[in-house]
Structure 1
Amino acid sequence: MPDDRRTVLADTAIAVLAETGMRGLTHRAVDRAAGLPPGTTSAYYRTRQALLTALVRRLVALDQAELEEIGRRTQVPRDADELVAGIAAFVELRLTGEGRQRSLARYTCAVESVRHPELREILAPRENAGRRIVHDFLAARGLADAGTRTVTLLTCIDGLVFDRLVNGGSVSDAEIRQLVATALR
């Protein structure tokens, strides 16, 4: 667990949000979950909006760090099978453990951003190593619109993750393979 109190509170807020939803995200709930005295969270984040903004910033930072780490460990796939395997491993991270918790929090915040545009700006998709790997794979196949296809493929993958979080189950390699094949057409 991080030592910085603000980071601890933001990480705890992510967990509270994933567990209890937007209505359950309160300063007191974060204090309890973090094992801190009442009033600690409000001392660092005076308003609920400040807490939510810190949570979203931390969520994006964690996601970006994860994607950059994947990029450091991964070369551009040589073929579609390698791309499918890489995406499948990433999807598994998003559906289990801490990744599941962050995914639930991310989707909750995405819905909330409809009413709070400042959150939408923080949550906007960013360039990262994971996205570059997919783009470079598609571009290496001579696709002039690799950027558009990358966004479409990753949006479809995101939709599958959302569906499985809501409805249960896992994403199969066959589903990913079909999406990759469509991106390559």
Structure 2
Amino acid sequence: MAKEDWAVKGRYLLKGIDDLKIQGEDEKLFPELFGYRDENDLREAIEDAKKIPEKKLTPLSSKDELVNPDFNFIPDFFILNDFLAHTIYEEGILYMSNKCLEQNYADTELEWFEVDEEHLEDNGLDLNVFDEPMSYSYIDAIIYADGEPVEFDDILEHYGNLKKHHLDLDHFYWMGKSFVSRHNFGLRTPYGLN
């Protein structure tokens, strides 16, 4: 039985456990991290999750729903500030000058791309918005498993200890992760984004 009403269940529980195992986290902490009383309760929840049938086509579902990331988003789980956290169905675009990127983040794990005319047009930005050559990268929004928001500074730290003063935050915004949710075609997504 779950100790917390926010306890992670189903396929999310299986994914979270796999993610933390890959990261080498201490499995003795898993019951508390995932919201369960003890190892037995967690084991029962895992067995219940394994019994969930795979998604199949039905008269009311379409093949697109089986392969569409808007309907099948599964977050990435990790420990942040000693609590279980996971990504949510939003991402942000960070901008940084190429000079600052080279001087301070040459070995970052984030993948950075050169800002070009196509990127500016795709994101509704004026072609002369930046005074110097810039790069951009995507970061996922993060929330704690209990539903508490993660502070933006902690998100930046998670993605390579990025510093706010190195970023152009005037052009930062959160958006849905998929092409569909970004371009507002009116289709449903798991978190109600359009």
TM-score by structure 2 length? 0.28
Structure with the higher fraction of residues in strand conformation: 2
Structure with the higher fraction of residues in helix conformation: 1
